[in-house]
Amino acid sequence: MGQAAEFAALLASIRACRICRDTPHFGEKLPHEPRPVIQASPQARICIVGQAPGARVHASGRPFTDASGDRLRAWLGIGEADFYDSEKVALIPMGFCFPGNDAKGGDLPPRRECAPAWHDAVFAHLPNIELLLLIGQYAQRRYLDRSDMSGGLTRTVQDWRKIYHRPGPHRTIPLPHPSWRNSGWLKQNTWFEAELLPVLRADIGNLLS
């Protein structure tokens, strides 16, 4: 089996995954039919590791088809055509399925089964990633050094220059979640849009040009 066929088989296995419903490793089983959501191609040079699909993404089967996606694309400075081109951008959530809602109506945390089961295999097929974007604390805890996380999310994102310029196989930038619930955070941390986003957009523009 060639590499393209192997990767296609891996994506098919992820989309057929029912671990969290049939044999959950952490807590209660998923209360609804799973619908794993992922976008990836070995040609992708940008990878975004997000949190988990919300209800709208669960319904559409396409990543970031919601208000958070609109804000994220505005942050990146790209349109839907580039964002949804799997040969340009890989979209890999920490939890592949909508985790359901908590008692207050918010989304539950990403299922903990997904990343250990699938992430290593997916990244093994993504040799061309040059820029890795980590959205939220769940992705940052998995892919950053423990010392990067010692001060909470705000401190981690404030330290983006240190993380971005760190030697390694790719450049990495930590980001807050683009949820509209974080609008207050953006107002309190104006450096994010003034300092981080121009660098992020320039890097992405170079990779897509």
CB contact at 8 A, 166 and 134:
no
Q: Please report the pLDDT score of residue 27 as a whole number.
A: 87
- Antiparallel, parallel or unpaired: β 46-50 and 131-135: parallel
Q: Please report the pLDDT score of residue 67 as a whole number.
A: 93
How far is Cα 145 from Cα 18, in angstroms, rounded to an integer?
A: 30
CA angle 50-53-59, nearest 5°?
Answer: 150
| CATH code of 165's domain | 3.40.470.10
The string of pLDDT tens digits covering residues 126-183 is 999 999 999 999 999 999 999 999 889 999 999 999 999 999 999 999 999 999 889 9
Closest CA to 31 of 96, 98, 123, 130: 98
Strand arrangement of the beta sheet that strand 46-50 belongs to: 89-93, 46-50, 131-135, 171-175
Q: Please report the pLDDT score of residue 29 as a whole number.
A: 93
Q: Please report the pLDDT score of residue 105 as a whole number.
A: 77
- Residue 34 C-beta-side C-alpha neighbours within 13 Å: 25
Q: Which domain holds residue 131?
A: 3-208
Low-confidence ranges of the chain (pLDDT < 50): none
Q: Please report the pLDDT score of residue 107 as a whole number.
A: 85
How far is Cα 85 from Cα 3, in angstroms, rounded to an integer?
A: 20
Q: Please report the pLDDT score of residue 1 as a whole number.
A: 65
Q: Please report the pLDDT score of residue 77 as a whole number.
A: 97
The rounded percent of the chain whose pLDDT value lies above 90 is: 87
CB contact at 8 A, 90 and 41:
yes
Q: What's the domain count of the chain? A: 1
Buried b (16+ CB within 10 A) or exposed e, 179-197: beebeeeeeebeebeeebb
Q: Please report the pLDDT score of residue 126 as a whole number.
A: 98
